[in-house]
Structure 1
């Protein structure tokens, strides 16, 4: 009788340990995905510091001609674009789409 109880206890402990390990291993992946989420934010890059796109005829990163150029973007953490200052944006903050700059 002791060996049956011991086997059941061991099996239950193993199942509990496996369940806990799977739960713990799933949490960092979700947190890492959230930390990695980024979005293109137009009008926030400084001159020559954009991540990509700066109008027709440009080659990509580092090609913006002015600070806060409306058609040049930088990657920012998701959800932060509309909180980032842009001196040329109509709203005063970064935009998710390119825009025509206002005078700074």
Structure 2
């Protein structure tokens, strides 16, 4: 194979590989939504209401004002014992009393 053909082949392979990387990055950015009441203490994604600041600041498991990002459309299918419905919520809620 001469140098010119090898150069074209290398360029073609590079284009195909870069398209694969771009496709993977797009797939990785699937739509997300905030899901309240599903995180364990200290594992929320950001602000968990009064007395907390940001990620990792929730004080209780399944805190009703602490959220995690989850794939869009899945929040209300995730079980949680603190929710009035027994599932994650799309907005803050007052935790059910045990």
Would you call these one fold, judging by a TM-score over 0.5?
A: yes
User: Is 1:80 aligned to residue 36 of structure 2?
Assistant: no
> Which structure shows the higher helix fraction?
1
Alignment of 1:40-79 (within 5 A): 40-79=34-73
| Alpha-carbon distance, 1:33 to partner | 5.6
Displacement of 1:95 in angstroms is 0.3
Aligned residue pairs total 79
Superposed displacement of residue 55, structure 1: 1.2
| TM-score, with structure 1 as normaliser | 0.66
| CA RMSD, 1 decimal | 2.2
Determine which structure has more spread, i.e. the larger CA radius of gyration: 1
In structure 1, the gaps of 5 or more residues are 1-24
Aligned partner of 2:11 in structure 1 is none
The one of 19, 30, 38 equivalent to 1:36 is 30
How far did 1:90 drift?
A: 0.3
TM-score, length of structure 2 as denominator length: 0.70
